[in-house]
Amino acid sequence: MNRGLFLLSFTFLLLFGSIIVNAQTTASPQNFHGKEIQTLVDYLRSLNYTAEADNIEKYLNNSNIIIEPLSGGQHGLNKWPQGPIYVDPGAFNHPRLPWNKSKPSDESAMISLASTLLHEKYHSEHHGFWKRVGSNGGHKLGGDNPMEVEGWNVTMDFLDRAINETLKKANNAQTAAEKEHWLELADQLIGIKLTRITDYKENKYGPELWNATELGELKGNVTDKLKKLQNGEDPSVKSVIDDHNEFERKVKLKAAEYFADFNQKVDAMTNDYGAKLARVPLMVNNKSIETPVKVEVSLSIDNPSDLGTGPYVFQINFHGAGNSVTVQQNESSFHPQYYLTIDSSEVTRIYRSDVPMQTAQELLRRGEITVSSTPPIGRQFEDTCGNGLLDRGEQCDYGYACPERMVCSIMCDCVYPVENPSGNLQPLPPRAPIQPDKNGNYWAIINAYNDNTGKIPAYFQGLLANEAIAIKIAGVNGNVYTYAAVIKNKKLESFSKSESISPTLRISFDEKIIQKIKNSAEPLTAVMAALNDGSIKLEPLTPANQFKILLANFGAKILGILKQGQFNVKPGDSIQITYLGRDATLVGNPYKLQIVIIKNEPVMPVMRSYESYPIGYTNQRSQQLIAQAPQRFSTNAGIYNQQLNNYRAQLARVSQVQLPSYGGAYQPSGVFTTGYSTGARYLTAIGGARR
Amino acid sequence: MKFGLKQAAIVIIVMIVPVGGEQVVASEANSHIYALLVAGNIEEALVDSTMERTIVSYDLPTNSEKEASWYYVMGVVASVAPESKRIELQAFVNNQPTEQVTAQMADVLDFANNRTTEAQFKSKMEIKQV
C-alpha cells in the first residue's frame, strides 16, 4: 500500500535539492545555444562591436561557454580564472526559437546576453583566484565584493554604449518605423540596465555607482518619445542623447573615484583575510599569532558564490609581521606546517567575528573546522561526504570511523586533530539531513521546489495541488528528523522543522536514499527503485489520498517500466546518454554491469543497474580484456573503489616508485622487495585493511 | 486476453523479485593493488583478485624494463593478497600482449621471506609465450 506515490517522492527529492536535473550543455556551433551565440556574434559585428564579437566567438569555438541552470537568479558565472563561462538557459528564447535580429525584444535579449558574457569574461581574464577568494571572504562570499563591482562596471559600460548608439540611430532614422524600432530597443536596453542596477540597490554588488533614479527618468523620457511617435508626432531624440551623456559623465566621475585605489584596497582585504586564516592553527597550538607560519587551506565553498561551489586548495605563507601574506595554489615546493579544512560559512564567521580566534576555537571544538599537522588525503566530492557511505573514496564518513586518535574531517579525510584543553577528541556533531539557512528558514528548498514544478509530469501535478505533508527522515547519524510542508495551488507555501500541521500525507525514508538518488545517473528511475524496494514509504492520512496514491502508483509503474526499458543496456550493446549532464555512452559488459564512458573524461563509473549509484570505477583496458574472455575473470574484475585519477593523489601515502629502465641493470629481488615493502607501508597507512 | 488476478500476481512477482547472481563490488584488494601499481607509474591495469588467483594485466610504462615490472607487481600482490593462491600477470607493450607469467603464492612468499634464492624462484615461475 505504501509503495507508490511517485509524485511525492519525485517532488520531495526535488525539493531537497537532490535531483534538480543538472542539464549542462557546452555551447558549440552545432547546437541551439551555440548557434544563438553565433547569431549574437554576427549581430555585434554588424553594430561594429568587433573586439567584443571576436572575443565571444573565441570562447564559443573553444567550448568555453557552458549552459547550465544557475542558482539565485544569476545570469552568468565564472568559477576559475581563465575558466569557462556558465550562462543560465533563461538568457535564450523559450521555447527554442532563433533570435530575430529585427525584433527589438530579441535584440535586447541578445545585448543582455552579450553584457553577461562580457562581465563573466572579465572575471575569467582579469581576476586571480586568490583575489577573488580574499575579497569574497572579506564580505559575504556571495557577490558583495570589489571584484563584482569591477565586473559589473564592464557590463554597464557596454550597455551604456549600446544605449547611446541606439539613441543616435533613432535620432538619425529616415522613417518613422525605423525611429520606432530604435526607440523601442533603447527603451528595453535602459530597462535591462535598471534591472541590473537593482542588484546594487539591494546591496548585492557593492556601492551604487549608477543612479537608478536618474536612469529611470531617462527611461521615462524615451518611453514618452516612443508614445508620441506612435501617436503620429515626430519627437526629437536629441535631448534624450544629451541627458544620457550627462548621466554617463556623472557615472564616470563616481567610478573613477571608486576605482582610484582599488588594487590597494583589494590587497589589504585579501591580506587581512589570509592572515586571519593562517592564525587559526597558531592559536590552537598556543603560539603567538605573530609567528610566521605556512598553512595549506582546504576551503569548501558551501554557498553558491561567484566562485561556484566545491573544494579549493590554496597555500598561505604568513610572514608574521602585520598581515603580510603570500598566497599560491599547488606549489610543490611549499611545505605546510599545518593543514586547515574549513568551509566558507565558517570562514565568514571567523572573518566577521569581533573575537576571531575565540570563534575559531569554538568551531574547532564543535568539529566544524579541522587543523592537522598531517595532510588530508583523498579529498572528496562534497556531495558524497556525509552520506554515510564510502562511495567515492572517502576515508571516513558517518558510520565509518577513522583509525585510533584520528578524526573525520569535514572533507571525509582522517586527520590528526589538535586536542582540546581536556585532551578529549571531539566527534563529529550530528547534522540534520536538511539544513536551514542562518536565519532558520528553508527558502532554498521552497524556491527549488517552486522553480522546478514544471519538471513534474502534469499527470502527477494535479494529484498534489493542496496537501499538508509530514516528512520523517531517519538520519545517517541515528537521529530521526521531522519536517512539515504545506502545498497550496501546486506551490510549496511553507516548509518547517516541525509537525505543527494536520497532515494529509506522511512520507518517510532514510537519509541515505537521498544521496543514492542524487548520485544516480537517472534519478527518476532511482526513485522508482526506491519506491519498489520500500526505501520510500508513504502513508495516506485521508481516504481521498488513498485513492490518489493508487492513481500515482499506477502512473509510477508505467513510467518505471518505460525508464527501465529505455536505460538498462544488454551485454555488448551501447546507447548514447546524458550522464549527470555530460555526453556519455552506456555500455553493457558481459557480467550485465552498466559501464558509463563519459566523453572526453577518463572516469568510467560502473553500476549494477542504471538507476543505482556507481559501485566503482573501471578503465578501458579492463573492459577490453573482460569482453575478450569473460569466463576468465570474476565479476569484480577491473572495478576499483575510487575514480582512477584519485589514486595518483593518494601517492602521498607511499613513496612513488621508479621501475628500472629498459636495458638497465637491476636486481629482481630488489624490485620485488620494493613492491612488497611499498605494499606493506600502504596497508599500514590506510589502517591495515586487506580485503 | 483478459488481465486477471493471476496475471497481475505474475507481474508483481516479476517486479519484486530481484535478479539473481553474485554480488558485484569494488574489491578492496583490487583497489589496493591498483593504487600500488599507480605508485609504480603502471596505469590502465586490470586487477582481479580472488582466493584462487590474482590476475594483473597492465600497460608497461614507457622505457620501463618488462621483467622488472613483473617482480614489482608480484611484490605488490604478495603484500596485499597473500591468501590468493596464484599470481597471473601480463604486461602490454604498445597495446600488444606479452608473455603470461604465473607464480604460486607459496613460492612468492618464500622468496619474500628469503627462504628461496632468486634463481630458485625464477625456475618456479611459468612464463608462457603468446
User: Please, what CATH class does the domain formed by A271-415 belong to?
Assistant: alpha beta
What pLDDT does A476 receive? 63
Residue A659 is given by DSSP the state P
Question: Residue B71: which domain range?
Answer: 26-128
DSSP A483-524: EEEEEETTEEEEEESS--S--SEEEEEEHHHHHHHHH-SSHH
Q: Distance (Å) from the C-alpha of residue B34 to the closest C-alpha of chain A?
A: 8
Residue A19 CA to residue A7 CA, distance in Å, equals 13
Angle at A682 between CA A678 and CA A686, to 5 degrees: 175
Secondary structure element (H or E) that encloses residue A262, with its range: helix A262-284
Identify the band that residue A562 occupies on the pLDDT scale cut at 50, 70 and 90: very low
A635 and B30 within 8 Å at the Cβ level: the answer is: no
CA distances to A382, A529, A574, A684 from A21, in Å: 17, 18, 23, 41
Q: Where are the domains of chain A?
A: 6-15+435-567, 25-262, 271-415, 574-649, 654-685
Cα angle: A54, vertex A57, A62; to 5 degrees: 125
Q: Is a pLDDT exceeding 70 seen at residue A559?
A: no
B16 part of a folded domain: no
| Confidence class for position B8, pLDDT limits 50, 70, 90 | very low
CA nearest to A143, candidates A210, A206, A57, A87: A206
Tell me the three state secondary structure of residue A594: strand
Chains A, B: CB contacts under 8 A, how many? Answer: 190
Work out the number of other CB atoms within 10 angstroms of the CB of residue A432.
Answer: 14
Judge: B46–A638 Cβ closer than 8 Å, yes or no.
yes
Nearest chain A CA: its distance from B90 CA (Å)? 11
Nearest Cβ partner of A635 from B16, B22, B44? Answer: B22
pLDDT for the residue numbered A75: 81
The predicted-structure confidence for A431-456, as pLDDT tens digits, reads as follows: 566 766 656 677 766 766 776 666 55
The distance of A135 to chain B (nearest Cα, Å) reads: 39
The alpha-carbon gap from A655 to the nearest alpha carbon of chain B, in Å, equals 7
**pLDDT at position A488, please?**
85
> Residue A560 CA to chain centroid, in angstroms?
29
pLDDT grade, residue A579 (50/70/90)? low
The reply to whether B87 touches chain A by the CB within 8 Å rule is no
Residue B107 lies in a domain: yes
A610-625, pLDDT tens digit by residue? 656 678 889 999 999 9
B 17-56 residues with CB < 8 A to A: 19, 21-22, 24-32, 34-36, 38-48, 50, 55
Are β-strands A338-343 and A325-328 bridged in parallel, bridged antiparallel, or unpaired?
A: unpaired
Residues A158-212: tens digit of each pLDDT: 888 899 999 999 999 999 999 999 999 999 899 888 887 766 555 555 566 777 7
pLDDT of residue A477: 60
Higher pLDDT, A58 or B12: A58
Lowest mean pLDDT among A14-18, A145-149, A250-254, A633-637: A14-18
Whether residue B81 is contained in a domain is answered as yes
Residue among B19, B57, B73 whose CB faces A625 most closely: B57
Higher pLDDT, A174 or A547: A174
Q: How much is the pLDDT for B80? A: 93
CA distance B5 to chain A (A): 16
Distance CA A417, CA A372 (A): 5
Q: Is CATH 3.30.1050 correct for A6-15+435-567?
A: yes
Please tell me the pTM assigned to this model.
Answer: 0.45
B37 in a structural domain: yes
B19 part of a folded domain: no
DSSP string, A266-299: HHHHHHHHHHHHHHHHHHHTT--TTS-EEEEEEE
Query: What is the SS3 assignment for A181?
Result: helix
Tell me what percent of the residues of chain A surpass a pLDDT of 70.
Answer: 66
Cβ distance of A633 and B55 shorter than 8 Å: yes
C-alpha cell at A165: 548608439
Residues of chain A in contact with residue B79, where contact means CB-CB under 8 angstroms, are 675-680, 682-683
- The closest CB to that of B65, out of A625, A666, A679, belongs to A666
Pick the residue with more confidence: A79 or A378? A79
Cross-chain Cβ contact A657/B39 below 8 Å: yes
Provide the domain count of chain B.
1
pLDDT of residue A609: 75
pLDDT of residue A676: 92
On whether residue B15 sits in a domain, the answer given is no
**CATH for B120:** 3.30.70
Q: What is the mean pLDDT of residues A626-634?
A: 93
Nearest to A637 among B46, B74, B81 (CB): B46
pLDDT in tens, A652-668: 556 678 888 888 888 99
Within this chain, domains A6-15+435-567 and A271-415 share the same CATH topology: yes
User: What gap in Å lies between CA A5 and CA A556, rounded to an integer?
Assistant: 7
Alpha helices in A101-237 (DSSP H): 104-126, 129-137, 146-171, 176-201, 212-230
Name the band, by pLDDT with cuts 50, 70 and 90, for residue A467.
confident
Intra-chain end-to-end CA distance of chain B, in Å: 59
Give CA separation, A431 vs A367, A481, A486, A581, A594, in Å.
Answer: 11, 10, 24, 29, 34
Where residue A428 falls among pLDDT bands split at 50, 70, 90?
A: very low
What is the pLDDT of chain A when averaged over all its residues?
A: 74
* CB-CB contact of B48 with B81 (8 Å): no
